[in-house]
Amino acid sequence: MIRVVLYQWLEDSLSSGKKVPEDLYHLKLESDKSSSDYISSDEETPKPKKRRSSSPDELPHTPSPKTPKAPSKDQVTALQSSTPYNPPNLNKDITQIFGKLINIYRALGDDRRSFSYYKAIPVIEKLPFKIQSAEQVKGLPGIRKSMQDHIQEIVTTGKLFKLDHFETDEKVKTISLFEEIWGVGPDTALKLFEKGHRTLDDLKNEDSLTHSQKLGLIYYEDIKQRIPRHKAQEMELLLQKAAKDVLPGVSTIMLNK
């Protein structure tokens, strides 16, 4: 025997996460449109009767399911992506300043301080709220007292005096400039500064530069230019083909620095 149920039964089953009883949703039909649809060939074929549509009063009453709250744009994006959901950075004013301090301390050869800011940034980036006071970050991993003071200064004034001082300091500015040369690291940049060099022109006659560093100095402006995305994609395809010719089956991925 074929039973017909209201579509509401399917909606309620999906909403509850399990199959709900069919009795309240059973739709009784007083006549059949065709005997071949409901009876076997051995039975007597009844004469077709005019189907009478059921009025709304005759249909069983079923409660309407609650309308779920619409997901936010970020939640929809997360569901569509195969990667874990990453909340937006609500404290960019802090993390951007800390990022600059990472590069400055690295240029000065102070790896300990550079690494401390490096560890703090992802902790702050993942906070689900906008920091209004340093009290909100007490006890968080990697956020010590001195860093809490920096955070309080940034949220209060919108800037950090230490960073302003560094950005006007001749030593920091010169070392940061030299580190932008291809092949020049913090130690070499510091040595060049200590030799009295202050500009790129000062380095043109510096004998201690290696061959690659001299090329980096010659092509300084070219190397600093950003490569258009379509050019980068063309290079990636070229490198992938070359890599597979050398080692079939190898996967090559171009990373952005």
Residues annotated as part of the active site: 150
Number of Cα atoms under 13 Å in the Cβ half of residue 41: 0
**Any alpha helices (H) in 89-206, and if so which ranges?**
92-107, 111-125, 145-157, 161-168, 170-179, 186-194
118 token code pair: 């490096």
Number of Cα atoms under 13 Å in the Cβ half of residue 72: 6
C-alpha span between 95 and 137 (Å, rounded)? 14
C-alpha span between 179 and 195 (Å, rounded)? 15
Tokens 């300084």 belong to 220
The rounded Cα 89 to chain-centroid distance in angstroms is: 10
CA distances from 66 to 12, 16, 63, 71, 218 (A): 10, 11, 9, 15, 69
Classify residue 207 as left (phi > 0), alpha (psi -120 to 50) or beta.
alpha
